[in-house]
Structures are given as structure tokens and as C-alpha cells.
């Protein structure tokens, strides 16, 4: 992603926040692959729900409202899963720089 460490971390935190806010985002494949591991770890920590885990989530997600949404809205839908909380679906190629785009979304149990 050719950025300084601080810029890259800020980008990843922003993508995590956007994903939790809208539960589905479209981004480049490289960014999605970089953020997927981080979101999977945060989701696993939110499933356990211990105070220490919540505080570790707060290090990445600054907005308390988004933490509440993750813990109280998203995680109950994912609690039965043992992993693989995200789905990456290729959506096409960006016209400007020919970068491959993917839709990143949470995988909920089918009702």
C-alpha cells in the first residue's frame, strides 16, 4: 500500500470503522486483504466480550458508538460461527488505475 506506517494504520482503522458502520464496503483487493485479518481479530475479541478484549478493540476503533454496534448488533449475528466472519466478493476493475475492486461484508447466518 506504499504508505508510511502511521498513514497505513490510520487507513486500516478508517476502513474498519467504515465496515462496521455500513456492514459492507467496496474497496481495492489489497486494502481488503490487509484489513480482513484485523476485523476478524476484533470480531473474535468482541464475541468473548470481556473487559480486556473491549479495551483492546477501543485501541483500534475510537468511536464508542461503533464499538457498541459491533458488540451488540453485529456479534450476536456471528456468535454461532467459529471464524470466517467476512466475505470478499470481486466486483470489477476500477477504470482509473485498473485496480481490482472487492465488496467486503459480514457473513451472517441465513435465516
CATH class of the domain comprising 5-106: alpha beta
- Which sequence spans correspond to the domains of the chain? 5-106
Could you report the per-residue pLDDT of 65-94, keeping only the tens digit for each? 999 999 999 999 998 888 899 999 999 999
Q: In what order do the strands lie in the sheet with 86-93?
A: 24-28, 100-106, 86-93
Long-range interactions of 103-107: CB distance < 8 A, separation 24+: 103/24, 103/25, 103/26, 104/19, 104/24, 104/25, 104/26, 104/27, 104/32, 104/35, 104/36, 105/23, 105/24, 105/25, 106/19, 106/23, 106/24, 106/74, 106/77, 106/78, 107/78, 107/81
Could you report the per-residue pLDDT of 11-57, keeping only the tens digit for each? 999 999 999 999 999 999 999 999 999 999 999 999 998 999 999 99
Residue in the structure block whose three cell numbers are 490487509: 34
pTM for the model stands at 0.90
Amino acid at each position: 500500500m506504499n504508505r508510511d506506517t502511521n498513514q497505513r494504520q490510520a487507513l486500516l482503522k478508517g476502513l474498519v470503522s467504515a465496515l462496521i458502520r455500513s456492514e459492507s464496503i467496496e474497496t481495492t483487493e489489497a486494502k481488503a486483504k490487509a484489513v480482513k485479518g484485523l476485523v476478524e481479530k476484533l470480531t473474535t475479541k468482541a464475541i468473548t466480550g470481556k473487559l480486556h478484549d473491549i479495551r483492546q478493540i477501543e485501541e483500534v476503533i475510537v468511536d464508542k458508538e461503533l464499538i457498541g454496534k459491533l458488540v451488540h448488533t453485529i456479534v450476536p449475528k456471528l456468535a454461532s460461527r467459529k471464524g470466517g466472519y467476512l466475505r470478499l466478493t470481486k466486483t470489477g476493475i476500477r477504470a482509473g488505475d485498473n485496480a481490482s475492486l472487492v465488496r467486503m461484508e459480514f457473513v451472517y447466518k441465513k435465516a
